[in-house]
Structure 1
Amino acid sequence: MPLTCQGKDSWPELIGVSGEIAVKTIEEENSFVTAIIVPPSQTAIPADFRCDRVFVFVDDEGVVERVPMIF
């Protein structure tokens, strides 16, 4: 049975936005998740799926470069 998460699960509109603003927006729009900034120097992230976590991948300037989503 597929896992269904509560609330909004992706934020394509945040590409190009500051990572800090993206974290605040994500956590305001879905109170069930914690958003975590992933800098370009971080090469590994946990591989387990969790409904309560959103990774926010940013570039060297701290700007969101991928669609933040629950995974």
Structure 2
Amino acid sequence: MESKFAHIILFFLLALFFQSLMARDLISDGIEVLQLPVENDGEFVCPGKLSWPELVGKSATYAKEVIQKENPNVSDIRVLYPGMMGPFNYVCGRVLLYVDWKAIVKITPRMG
């Protein structure tokens, strides 16, 4: 049992090390790598507009168009219907649209 646990820990440590080497290799090859947001007094700061309170009550398709037009840094817009859980991590370039069953935005869309 202890042997299996040690193997699992070793696997995760190697996986973390491998990912960091991959990012360094990409940067040295001149390939653009997504930069982490700048931390400002404990808060993350992403480039461009971060929230769209004016879209509450609008359709999800219209909201997607407006968000992409107002912030070209947004690369992932996810529509979440009632009962769906959003991701727990913060990602610059991702906006979550919480909508009702008619695809009408119910909560202010925010970056992250």
TM-score of the two chains, using structure 1 as the length reference: 0.89
Match of 1:36 in 2: 78
- Structure ranking higher in helix proportion: 2
The separation in 1 between residues aligned to 2:82 and 2:105, in whole angstroms, is: 10
Which structure 1 residue ranges, 5 or more long, are not aligned? none
Q: Matched residues in 2 for 1:21 and 1:65: separation?
A: 13
The 5-angstrom pairing of residues 17-32 of structure 1 reads 17-32=58-73
Alpha carbon RMSD of aligned pairs, Å?
Answer: 1.1
Q: Relative contact order (alpha carbons < 8 A, sep ≥ 6): 1 or 2 greater?
A: 1
Between stretches 28-37 and 11-20, larger displacement belongs to 28-37
Taking only the aligned residue pairs, the percentage that are identical comes to 34
TM-score (norm 2): 0.59
Q: Which has the larger radius of gyration?
A: 2
- Runs of 4+ aligned residues of structure 1 deviating over 3 Å after TM superposition are none
The AA in structure 2 aligned to 1:47 is F
Per-residue deviation, 1:41: 3.8
Select the residue among 22, 31, 54 that pairs with 1:13. 54
Match of 1:62 in 2: 103
Unaligned runs of at least 5 residues, structure 2: 1-38
Cα deviation per residue 1:13-55 (whole Å; 9 max; x = unaligned)?
A: 000000111011101110111221111142x221000111000
* Shift in Å, 1:60: 1.1
In structure 1, distance between residues paired with 2:54 and 2:60: 12
